[in-house]
Chain A
Amino acid sequence: GENVEQHPSTLSVQEGDSAVIKCTYSDSASNYFPWYKQELGKRPQLIIDIRSNVGEKKDQRIAVTLNKTAKHFSLHITETQPEDSAVYFCAASEENRDDKIIFGKGTRLHILP
């Protein structure tokens, strides 16, 4: 089955700087890669996703890149703000087969004032 590795587990960045979180996946059949932000005790919230037919996607301060050959994908947050502090999860899924979403272990992002 799919295995998703995520690094780092904890990341502290100065407010205004950029944050990068990296993930790898094992199953070459995976074709959908969502990123979630989770506040304590709440459900995961989708912040951006990418499908395997594109290499990158951007939404304001958030961007995601995908390298299918290397099975790597990364989340980039620019101009970080205090409200970006949260736990972020990458995930992988094979859409239109079983659709199950497999999560990475998560990255706790701290934005320092």
Chain B
Amino acid sequence: GAVVSQHPSRVICKSGTSVKIECRSLDFQATTMFWYRQFPKQSLMLMATSNEGSKATYEQGVEKDKFLINHASLTLSTLTVTSAHPEDSSFYICSARDRVTNTEAFFGQGTRLTVV
């Protein structure tokens, strides 16, 4: 079945630095990918929709200059958390759906970001 791979699974960074998270669709092309953030014991909150070849669409309240999204190919979207602060520590997870087969959405493994 379709698989979405996310990397890295864990990252610890210093306050003020930037972190890049990759999301790849392994056996299908994804013109659209989605980025979610999940704080402990909370739900997955949609941050943005990543669109191949065009600008991402951000949900209300999500800072586009802080969470940079690039979707340069049909199989790769990246999320860069810029100038990270401790409050950005969270579980970030991407998803994509194979629109050709019209099956379920697939989720990456998630990235646990800790900003110290």
Contact = CB atoms under 8 A, between A and B. Distances in A.
Check if A and B associate.
yes
A93 B43 CA distance: 16
Contacts, number: 50
A103 B44 contact: yes
Nearest to A102: B46
Interface residues of B, dominant DSSP = strand
A41 interface: yes
User: Does more than half of chain A's interface fall in helix, strand or loop, or is it mixed?
Assistant: loop
What is the interface residue range for chain A against chain B? 20 to 34
Interface in B83-116: 91, 93, 95, 97, 99, 102, 104-105, 107-110, 112
A105 B36 CA distance: 13
B105 A101 contact: yes
22 contacts: A1-B59, A41-B112, A42-B109, A43-B93, A43-B107, A43-B108, A43-B109, A44-B107, A46-B104, A49-B104, A95-B102, A98-B32, A99-B34, A99-B99, A100-B34, A101-B46, A101-B95, A103-B36, A103-B43, A103-B44, A105-B43, A106-B42
